[in-house]
Every structure is written in C-alpha cells, then in structure tokens.
Amino acid sequence: MHTPVRLAEILNAYEMALTRRQRKRASFQNAQKHGKILMDFYGPNFNVVSMQPLDLEKLIAARLAAGAAPAYAGGTLRILRAAMGVAIDVGLLEALPFHERRWAAARPRIGRKDPSVLQGCDLTRLLAAAEEPVRTAMWIAARAGLRHQEILHLTVGDVRLEEGVIKVTPKRGWTPKAYHERTIPISPQLADVLRTYLSGHATQDPGAWLFPGVDQQRTRLDQQVRAVFKAAGLYLAANKPGLHMLRRTWATKCLAAGASLPDLMKMGGWSDLAVVQRYVASTDEGQRTAILALDGA
C-alpha cells in the first residue's frame, strides 16, 4: 500500500518550487488562490494518492455550480495537476494517481472566443486620451504590434526613421520573446508620432532608453495603460484591455489590409500559426472586405 500524501503537502511543495524558480508574484498569488479552493473543497488532509477521476469531476461540477467561469474552474484543475508534477519531482509522489487522459477529460469544455480588438474610432479615442510618454508607447503597440516588454526595452537607436523601421533587438540582461530579433516597418503616421516624440527626448544617444521616464527597471506599464482605457470610456475587464489588446488590433488590421500570414508572423515575432489565431479576430469590416474582393477576382 502506498504511503498517504496530504493535499496540503503537495500544494506547499508547489509554492516552494515557484519561489525557487523566482516566478512572478502573479504566479505565486494564482497558486495560493486556487490552492485555497482545493483545500476548502477536499480538505488539507485529503490523500492525493487515492484520488480518482470522479474526484476531479466533482470539483469541476461544484465550481461551475458556484458560478465560476469554465476557464477559472479549469485553472484550479491546472494548479492541482502542476502541484502533483512538482510532488513527483521532489519525491513526494511516485506517479500520478491515474492516467493523464483522465485529467484532460475532466477539464470543462470552453468554446473559442474571438480575441477582443478595437475598432478604428475607438482606437482614435483611446490614443487621444493618453499623455506622453504612454501615448507614444501605445501608438507603437497599435501600429507596429510590439509586445509590452519589447516597447519598454526600445532604445533611441532602435527607432530608424530614415529607414522607416523599428528594430527589436536583445539588450543586456534581456532578449525578445522566443529570442526573435526582428525589424518592423512603420507607417508614415507612426513615423510622425515618433519624430515628434524624439524631438523632445532628453538625449539623442542611440543607447538611451526610448521611454526612460516610464519605468527605470523595464518592468510594467499596465497601470498607466489601464488608466487611459478608463479615461477613454473603453475599459472592460473581460476584454483584457492593455497593450496586448492593441497588439491584437494591429494583427487583425494587418490581415484585413491584405498582409500574408508569413509576413504577419515575421513582423509579430510568432513562429506558431496556432498562436497567431489567438490574436486575430473576425470583424465585420474584414468580412466585407473579403466578400467585395471576390467581385474583382
């Protein structure tokens, strides 16, 4: 007979692993939040070795009945599975109590939702509500599709107005996601915005941060951007407003304007088409453009 392993033990081991790996504070808070749900439902002394698929199904059913969104209920299951994985790594568990397929079967089914994007008039209103330097940072996300950290790690020399491009390059202590160094063409309108911004920049040193006053530690810009969404009357938490929403808007508009998927993936720094699908939304404007194009085919 296998030695019992308490739920509290594996959750504690998981949190310790997050600490050792120096994961973001949000990851630690997420683990604690879902860990409390698991402890309240099963009890801290629940023997995870004896867990059965029915135990997972009861957990999900109870979460959904309590009004939890399917994605949130599935998140609790993911934390439990991750905690068991850590427990195996550190020797608390010999193996999962049942086959991996049974975990997948217990997850609530979630229909695919189009990613949220901004329409033209809303984008104009949003950018008009921002003040510098956040305004220019948002312009770059909306018209060049750069990620949050890519924007914060731009230097003056990365903006090459004479070439009409922005370069995303590794910096000391930082590399772009998936180590993708790339060059993104910029529109004349974005070039004008950047030219105006640079004319008032404290230094023209190519190695200086483009946004030195935003965040000296190159960490986050979330709060300032959310404040702009609220000021413009466009804040809806379910739509995940922020710089990534502007990146999704950029990707959707690029495709609607006729960009090929290979070009979009190269500009956006994506190597997997499945990831691109999570960014691109179907819009009425895009559907009309596609249908009208048939008349000229």
Is 115 within the bounds of a domain?
no
Q: Write the burial class of residue 211 (CB in 10 Å: 0-12 exposed, 13-18 middle, 19+ buried).
A: buried
Is 111 within the bounds of a domain?
no
Which residue carries 């995940």 as its tokens? Answer: 240
Is 226 within the bounds of a domain?
yes
Q: Write the burial class of residue 116 (CB in 10 Å: 0-12 exposed, 13-18 middle, 19+ buried).
A: middle
Regarding whether 174 and 94 lie in a shared domain, the answer is no
Lowest mean pLDDT among 11-25, 48-62, 269-283: 269-283
pLDDT band (50, 70, 90) for residue 50: very high
Regarding whether 135 and 96 lie in a shared domain, the answer is no
In angstroms, rounded to a whole number, what is the distance separating the alpha carbons of residues 136 and 139?
A: 5
Q: What's the mean pLDDT in 213-220?
A: 57
In angstroms, rounded to a whole number, what is the distance separating the alpha carbons of residues 226 and 175?
A: 25
Is 57 within the bounds of a domain?
yes
CB neighbours of residue 296 within 10 Å: 5
Is 234 within the bounds of a domain?
yes
The DSSP annotation for 207-223 comes to TSBSSTTT-TTS---HH
- Helix H or strand E encompassing 66: none
- The boundaries of the domain holding residue 271 are 120-295
In angstroms, rounded to a whole number, what is the distance separating the alpha carbons of residues 7 and 42?
A: 8
Task: Write the CATH number for 281.
Answer: 1.10.443.10
pLDDT band (50, 70, 90) for residue 108: confident
Q: Are 49 and 97 in contact (CB under 8 A)?
A: yes
The DSSP annotation for 132-194 comes to TTHHHHHHHHHHH---HHHHHT-BGGGEETTTTEEEE--BTTB--GGG--EEEE--HHHHHHH
Regarding whether 48 and 24 lie in a shared domain, the answer is yes
Regarding whether 134 and 247 lie in a shared domain, the answer is yes
Which of 106, 140, 163 is at the close of a domain?
A: 106
Integer CA distances (angstroms), 146 to 151, 246, 247, 248, 270, in order: 6, 9, 7, 10, 11
pLDDT at 167 over 70: yes
Regarding whether 175 and 263 lie in a shared domain, the answer is yes
pLDDT tens profile 33-46: 999 999 999 999 99
In angstroms, rounded to a whole number, what is the distance separating the alpha carbons of residues 81 and 106?
A: 12
Regarding whether 133 and 257 lie in a shared domain, the answer is yes
The reported pLDDT for the residue numbered 1 is 46
Regarding whether 168 and 85 lie in a shared domain, the answer is no
Regarding whether 152 and 53 lie in a shared domain, the answer is no
Which of 77, 106, 135 is at the close of a domain?
A: 106
Regarding whether 138 and 88 lie in a shared domain, the answer is no
Closest to 140 measured CA to CA, from 175, 297, 132, 16? 132
pTM exceeding 0.85: no
Regarding whether 178 and 92 lie in a shared domain, the answer is no
Q: What's the mean pLDDT in 274-281?
A: 73
Regarding whether 264 and 160 lie in a shared domain, the answer is yes
Is 185 within the bounds of a domain?
yes
Instruction: Report which of residues 273 and 149 the model is more confident about.
Output: 149
Measure the CA dihedral 133/139/141/142, to 10°.
160
Q: What's the mean pLDDT in 235-258?
A: 87
Give the chain's domain count. Answer: 2
Which of 106, 133, 153 is at the close of a domain?
A: 106
The reported pLDDT for the residue numbered 213 is 64
Regarding whether 224 and 124 lie in a shared domain, the answer is yes
Is 113 within the bounds of a domain?
no
Residue type at 224 in one-letter notation: Q
Lowest mean pLDDT among 88-97, 100-109, 118-127, 164-173: 100-109
Q: What's the mean pLDDT in 152-179?
A: 89
In angstroms, rounded to a whole number, what is the distance separating the alpha carbons of residues 294 and 289?
A: 9
pLDDT tens profile 126-137: 999 999 999 999
Is 50 within the bounds of a domain?
yes
The reported pLDDT for the residue numbered 101 is 85
pLDDT at 287 over 70: no
In angstroms, rounded to a whole number, what is the distance separating the alpha carbons of residues 236 and 245?
A: 11
Which residue carries 């009890």 as its tokens? Answer: 43
Contacts 24+ apart (CB under 8 A), 126-129: 126/228, 126/229, 126/232, 126/234, 128/232, 129/228, 129/231, 129/232
